[in-house]
Amino acid sequence: MLGKGRGSSYEELDEESEGDSRFGVNKRALYEPSGMVDRVRRVIVSPKRACCIAIIVFLCILSIALIAAFSRPFVCCACKENVDSEPDSLVGQQQGNDSQSSLSSNGTSSVVTPPTATNGEPFPWTSVRLPDFVVPLSYSISLHPNLTTFVNKGTVNVTFTLKEPQKFIVLHVKELELSNFHLETGNTVVGVRKTLIYVKYEQLYIEFDNILGENVPYSLSIDFKGNLSEKLEGFYLSSYRTSAGETRYLATTHFEPTYARLAFPCFDEPSLKATFRVSIIREGRHISLFNMPIAQTKKLSDNLYVDYYNDTVMMSTYLVAFIVSDHLNVTAVTANNVTVSVYSPAEQLHQAAFALEVATSVLDFYDSFFGIPYPLPKQDLVAIPDFGAGAMENWGLTTYRETAILTDSNETSVGKIQQVALTITHELAHQWFGDLVTMSWWNDLWLNEGFASFVENLGTDHVRPEWNMMDQFVLSKTQPALQLDSLASSHPISVKVDNPSDIESIFDTISYSKGAAIIYMLESFLGKTTLQRGLKTYLNTYKYKNAKTEDLWRVLSLESHNMNVSLDVEAIMDTWTQQMGFPLVTIERKGNVVTAKQQRFLVGSSAEEDGVSSEFYSKYGYKWHIPLTYTTDKSSKPKLVWLNLGDAEFKVSSDVKWIKFNTNQTGFYRVMYSERDWRNLIEALKTDHTVFTAVDRASLLDDAFTLARNNLLDSTIPLEMAGYLTNETAYVPWITALECFMEMEMTLKERKSLRNLIEYFQRLLLPIVSEVGWKDQGTHLQRLLRPSILFIASHYGDEEVIDEALKRFREWKTNNVRCDEA
């Protein structure tokens, strides 16, 4: 989900639209292209400048503190002003009276003011979560979004039952005008005694005249009215301009995580699944779209029509979507007879062909991979002009920012084309992992996003096997996650969240990229077949339901036993999901005995401080179950040793010269070797770097430069290792190396040694600059590598590259000659 204002470029990260929610900004970054050129645009602050900034900030804070101290008004200690407080201590309590008692720190009883409704009355329900005794069954929603007045009017009729007799229910609602509350069961009408709204928790409390019975279906009807705002959340207004300059409007939705309540009153929690039936009134010049196909269309007047849609399957509110627009579409059918359509404005429809090809192909692949046919009759992919994030996995109606789905074969770069494919395969993976089976609550968000972020690579690899997506996986997922998770400000993958603001904050690199990386690690020690069989069992067991992380681990453990692997997956993976950070594995070799020791890798703090300074206490003491893999110069077949919350010792052949640990960087950890072993690895790289896979070469560079940057390894080791790059042509090692070069440059900024470092980098770059050239040709990975190499060469002052770039730019500007053809 990539949130930008109208007309904005996909790459313009420095100009956020006013409508961008924090959620959109967080998730948007996860869908942005991660090429070298994009990643090196960062702020570099010298030590002197940083010192000056720190001094200025300190003086400002001191001045503010002094002003506050001397200007504070006199307050009589004996007096207390009654404040309408909304204390966090109320969260989790059940229905109470108009006031509640609690114990103060000295043991005396004090009165806590309950939440206050908009009419000034106490709001009886005090938990941010909805009551667990309500079971929604179905929604019937009628909508009339007016694209002239920008107002949406509608009615929702929700059928529910209760697990126990109650006199009230609580729903979610936000920024809607409500009227005409009506409850009935069978032919009996139940009077509505009171309705209250609590803005902070976005809740609607409805109290009835009579006690509602257990397991009895009730039907609640509410009329509502709301504005089609430009917030990029809920049911909102978007627009685009035609080539003739005409502005055209559309109404579209974005409900994840907690925005369905902006569109209609509902039980807006992922575990409260129900079926949905929708009807939409529209003008004749528009079409409407919903999660399901249209059942029928009726004409209301000369220019008004109403579309009635088929009922959905059981699904969560955040996956509901509806759109009214004038988009056109291209359509194809999968091998399993699912209709796939890509919608866009008419003038951009020619850019939808690639998206249609990817979507059609990957749906068939996922049918086979998950072992469950896609459960809906159609899949629509819609290009939205204004979208707060890159894409959204609404079931059967996925939505995308225009630049995340549309491509022009003559203009779109190979990096952008690859990102479009990854975005589509990510959202379509969610149709199973997230939509068919949904996390019970947002603390298991990573279960949805981590798996989709892993499977997107498998899906794209199926569509374009020559792209080598699993090699690129370490660049897009593992290495960025390692960098972020080494900070004390990181967080565990699975974290407790309640408030909407907390939910939004966990849509980040940890949930997506680290989640994907540890699933890649899981696949490496379980095996592809075991993982795939386990996923099939998991999806079949919990389809149309909700699940928790431990449910998946339980299924995979059983599957491993069936495959004679016998691993306690839950015990292993809990050490990776319930504590932040990752281990540094230190290798010591004496003769043929190898000792592997683990400790947390934490930037800026010592290992002894791990469990003290962090806000996240770890019951595991920051120790992990580590699947330590390795290859040697005697055997390229990976071997596995387990470090189970401690260290390990094992033997290798006495004639082994070098050992490379963390094969293909499938493990989420770093490795520190002895100086002798580093030297042996460097010698092997310089003698014949192809004895290591491209990913292993990249992981050696990544570990060595990172450890040196954190003063755990002498800088001569990574710099000497980098010398082999004069013979390197592969994409993954080079992109890793360029990242490392930039990080080291930042570290040495304004130091005398920087000039020597840059000259060394220039020498390393000469052969690859000559190799890639300027023509946009070669394999996909060669075409991806070319702009990064030429950019970094110009960055380091290669005069030939700079002169050639300027010449080609002038040719394009003067004679309209493409830069790769000049």
Residue 750 has a pLDDT of: 76
271-280, 403-412, 496-505, 801-810, range with greatest mean pLDDT: 271-280
DSSP class of 143: E
The four Cα atoms 89, 92, 95, 101 give a dihedral, to 10 degrees, of -30
Residue 466 has a pLDDT of: 97
With a cut of 80, say whether residue 19 has pLDDT above it.
no
Tell me whether strands 203-212 and 218-227 are parallel, antiparallel or unpaired. unpaired
Asked whether the beta carbons of 540 and 372 are under 8 A apart, the reply is yes
CA distance 452 to 491: 20
With a cut of 70, say whether residue 763 has pLDDT above it.
yes
Asked whether the beta carbons of 93 and 127 are under 8 A apart, the reply is yes
Residue 76 has a pLDDT of: 33
pLDDT tens digit sequence for 726-755: 999 999 999 999 999 999 999 888 788 899
Residue 39 has a pLDDT of: 46
User: Which tokens is 442 given?
Assistant: 């947002």
Percentage of the residues of the chain whose pLDDT score is greater than 90: 77
Residue 500 has a pLDDT of: 74
- Residues contacting 296, CB < 8 A, separation 6+: 307, 308
Look at 198-207, 492-501, 515-524, 668-677 and tell me which has the smallest mean pLDDT: 492-501
Query: Crossing angle for the helix pair 414-429 and 22-31, nearest 10 degrees?
Result: 120
Q: Give the pLDDT band of residue 81 (cuts 50, 70, 90).
A: very low
User: Which tokens is 468 given?
Assistant: 């080598």
CA distance 483 to 602: 10
Residue 748 has a pLDDT of: 86
SS (H, E, C) 481-502: HHHHHCCCCCCCCCCCCCCHHH
Q: Give the pLDDT band of residue 154 (cuts 50, 70, 90).
A: very high
Q: Give the pLDDT band of residue 265 (cuts 50, 70, 90).
A: very high
DSSP class of 66: H
CA distance 693 to 244: 53
Instruction: Classify 49 as helix, strand or coil.
Output: helix
pLDDT tens digit sequence for 171-181: 999 999 999 99
pLDDT tens digit sequence for 468-486: 999 999 999 999 999 999 9
Rounded mean pLDDT of 487-511? 86
Tell me whether strands 593-600 and 437-439 are parallel, antiparallel or unpaired. unpaired
Residue 48 has a pLDDT of: 60
Query: Crossing angle for the helix pair 445-463 and 549-562, nearest 10 degrees?
Result: 50
Rounded mean pLDDT of 373-385? 97
Tell me whether strands 304-309 and 294-299 are parallel, antiparallel or unpaired. antiparallel
pTM to 2 decimals? Answer: 0.88
pLDDT tens digit sequence for 545-570: 999 999 999 999 999 988 877 899 99
With a cut of 80, say whether residue 158 has pLDDT above it.
yes
Average pLDDT, rounded, for the chain:
88
Residue 102 has a pLDDT of: 34
DSSP codes of every residue in 508-576: SHIIIIIHHHHHHHHHHHH-HHHHHHHHHHHHHHHTTEEE-HHHHHHHHHHHHHHTT----HHHHHHHH
Q: From the candidates 256, 402, 427, 739, which is the catalytic residue?
A: 427
The yes-or-no answer on residue 427 being catalytic is yes
Q: Give the pLDDT band of residue 51 (cuts 50, 70, 90).
A: low
With a cut of 80, say whether residue 524 has pLDDT above it.
yes
User: Which tokens is 731 given?
Assistant: 């994409």
- Compare 136 and 65 and report the one with higher pLDDT: 136
- What one-letter code names the amino acid at 165? P
- Residues contacting 603, CB < 8 A, separation 6+: 486, 487, 488, 710
